[in-house]
């Protein structure tokens, strides 16, 4: 099974790290929170999804 990963800001590492998407809501809108796990420190955090129209900005 292929895991979805994104480069997101980790509050614990204080850096932009590669994070694994752990939980995705059934109806995924950008306002609903997703659970990510940092690949470096292993901490899990709930972050808001990125806006699909502004993906190129990040």
Q: How many Å apart are CA 2 and CA 16, to the nearest integer?
A: 21
Tell me if 34 is assigned to some domain. Answer: yes
Reported as a pLDDT band with limits 50, 70 and 90, residue 29 is: confident
Please indicate, yes or no, if residue 51 is contained in any of the structural domains: no
Which residues span the domain enclosing 11? 5-46
In-domain check, residue 56 = no
Count of domains for the chain: 1
| Domain assignment present for 10 | yes
Which residue has better confidence, 49 or 38?
38
Predicted structure pTM score = 0.76
């995705």: which residue's tokens?
A: 24
Q: Percentage of the chain surpassing pLDDT 70?
A: 83
């Amino acid at each position: 099974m292929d895991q979805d990963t994104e480069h997101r800001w980790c509050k614990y590492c204080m850096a932009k790290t590669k994070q694994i998407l752990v939980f995705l809501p059934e109806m995924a809108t950008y306002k609903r929170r997703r659970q990510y796990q940092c690949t470096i420190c292993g901490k899990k955090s709930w972050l808001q999804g990125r806006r699909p129209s502004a993906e190129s900005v990040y």
